Structure 1
Amino acid sequence: MKDLFEGLMIQGRVVYAFILRDMRTRFGRSRLGYFWAIFEPLSGIFALALVFSVIDRGSPINVDILLFFFTGIIPWQLFSRGVSLMSNVIESSAPLLTYPQIKVVDVIIARLILEFSTTMVVSALYLLVLYFFGIFERLENILMSITVLILCILLGAGFGLVGAVIKLYLPSYSSFQALIVRVLFFISGAFFVADTLPTQVREVLWYNPVLHLIEWERSAFFYGFESQFYDPFYPILWILCLGFLGLAGERATRAKLRQLGI
């Protein structure tokens, strides 16, 4: 038990060190870096709200358009950032693995904690502003909402980690992965709800786990809205499978990294 505790303490210090390193890399030492960290996740919300206002379209459900897009864009960005953060995690971490205390999983945990924490701070500030203007009052189930957001970034991380393994053997896969992510944006519910789609379209899109998570997030966030589309176990199954494949693949590629001299 003592050895286990000491091991966890060492891993905790390693993860904390990586979080500090990633903060300096991402935000820099200027206020501009922190401003961009706040503005970037919200830019998609404002852009979509502007487009819908120009074409005189309202929210598909009976909520303010700024809240509707918030519950679509934030889960989507957690997923896409999870993909992006994991896409190069194996190659970028390889030089550090000469130190016995450091493992790729430490880098993975640090990146996900920093990204999720940043998104939560930005989301809280955004909702606070909307509350001040009387647009937002409260959400229905805060614990469920946060849980779904965690699942979003884990799904993206699993997808990105599997991609990172594939890219070691097939470098051109990165272009294919980028295409998949772009297509997923348009079919994952960021600017629509699944229940308003034709039955045949819903049957096809049912296989998209990101759409399940966004529908689930809106059901947890809004009073009076309960999607009939999502199945909570379906995206969780994807997360477990992708996580297993990604971590197993990372372990299997260590010899490949040595061959490449990385």
Structure 2
Amino acid sequence: MAIDLEKGLITPAASPCVAHFMGVWYVSRPPSAKNRTMARMPARLTQHPLLQALISKKNVMIAVVLRDMRTRFFNHGFGFIIVPLWPLVHMTVLIAIHAASGKGTPAYGESTALFYATGLVPTLTFMYVSRFMGYSAIQNRPMMAFPVVKALDVMFGRAFLEIIASCITITLMMTILWMTSQNPWPLDIENAVSAYLATIFLAIGCGTVAGTLALIQPMVMTIYQLIVICTYLSSGTMYVASQLPDQVSSLLSYNPVLVCVEWMRTAYYETYSDKLVDKAYLFEFAGTSLFLGLLIERMFRRQLRDA
């Protein structure tokens, strides 16, 4: 059993069962233009240790992504199509509950769907990316039997997959809002994009900590799931946090996801209050989380592999 770095996928040296276990099959094909270009490169460049390490890392990440796409739903790659639909179902349920409660107007603005969308996009992005980074570390632990596969490869590969799903969800949400004669475009596009990228940064930082700790003690993911639920309830998705009493809003402002939600809404509503948008706190929290996650992974790398 081995990892074929030149072909780009994890393949068995003796038995095809390993390729099936990894959820990846290698199909022979003519050399691509990229491979022909690599062949024409000077040998001293193609054999450079840094380039070889980058190629190896890319191949491992591809294998992780393909395996996660197969195992997420129905044990088939096409099951990944369902992933971007879950947030849409979530938003539909919230709108239905809002209508059933007899509330005719949204908590802010003129569109109930837009108000919930501006809260759900940051919140669910954080929840899905960080949570599944942790679960992926546990589910793909057997892959770490290969020396070339590290815990970070598994977690970051899953993060990449969830970010792609999140982008598809945003596209679908904006399309539905536009088709229902609602304006899905933010007043400040740069601010909206910045809020979304900051949310991804936060999710990766928290997911790295959760994933590395989960490899040491799987019970961590149960605790983290409870934390995520509390984070969702206090994120301001269903209400305007800045309109709450100062004591309550001040306490909620320590939730970095709420900062992301408030930041996103300031990009959509011209008169939306930004008193809870503490960008410095958000980046410090995300950066510290990522640093701690990387530090734990480095300090306990051998134990994580042998656990």
Superposed, 1:209-224 pairs within 5 Å as 209-224=256-271
**Alignment match, 1:52:** 98
Which residue of 1 is the match for residue 180 of structure 2? 133
Cα pair 2:65 2:158 within 8 Å, conserved: yes
**Which residue does 1:153 correspond to in 2?**
200
Structure 1: gaps (5+ residues):
none
Residue 121 of structure 1: aligned partner:
168
Query: Is the contact between residue 89 and residue 104 of structure 1 (CA under 8 Å) also seen in structure 2?
Result: no
Q: Which of these residues, 59, 82, 89, is aligned with residue 13 of structure 1?
A: 59
Is it true that 1:162 corresponds to 2:209 in the alignment?
A: yes
Does structure 2 retain, via aligned residues, the 8 Å contact 1:83–1:156? yes
Once the two structures are superposed, residues 3-23 of structure 1 have per-residue CA deviations (whole angstroms, 9 ceiling, x without a partner) of 433432332232223222222
Partner SS for 1:228: coil
Percent identity over the alignment is 28
Match of 2:6 in 1: none
Alignment of 1:1-262 (within 5 A): 2-27=48-73, 28-29=75-76, 33-34=79-80, 36-57=82-103, 58-260=105-307
Q: Secondary structure at the match of 1:207?
A: coil
Letter in 2 for 1:155: L
- How far does residue 152 in structure 1 lie from its aligned partner after superposition? 2.0
Which residue identity does 1:153 align to in structure 2? I
Letter in 1 for 2:120: I
How far did residue 98 of structure 1 move? Answer: 4.0
Query: Contact 1:116/1:150 (CA < 8 Å) preserved in 2?
Result: no
Return the offset for 1:232.
0.9
* Cα offset, 1:258, TM superposition: 4.9
Structure having the larger proportion of residues in helix: 1
Q: Using the TM superposition, give the Cα deviation of residue 205 of structure 1 relative to its aligned residue in structure 2, in angstroms.
A: 1.2
Contact persistence 2:70–2:77 (CA under 8 A)? no
Answer yes or no: is the 8 Å Cα contact 1:188–1:210 preserved in 2: yes
If asked which structure has higher relative contact order (CA below 8 Å, sep 6+), I would say 1
Q: Provide the alpha-carbon RMSD of the alignment.
A: 2.4
Output the CA distance in 1 between the equivalents of 2:256 and 2:92: 25
Counterpart code for 1:139: P
Would you say the 8 A contact 2:178–2:184 is kept in 1?
A: yes
Q: Which amino acid aligns with 2:72?
A: R
The two structures have a TM-score, normalised by structure 1, of 0.87
Structure 1: how far apart are the matches of 2:84 and 2:211?
A: 28
C-alpha distance in 2 between matches for 1:217 and 1:53: 24
CA apart distance, 1:137: 4.7
Bigger Rg, which one: 2
How many residue pairs end up in the alignment? 259
Name which of structure 1's ranges 87-96 and 198-207 shifts more when overlaid on structure 2.
Answer: 87-96
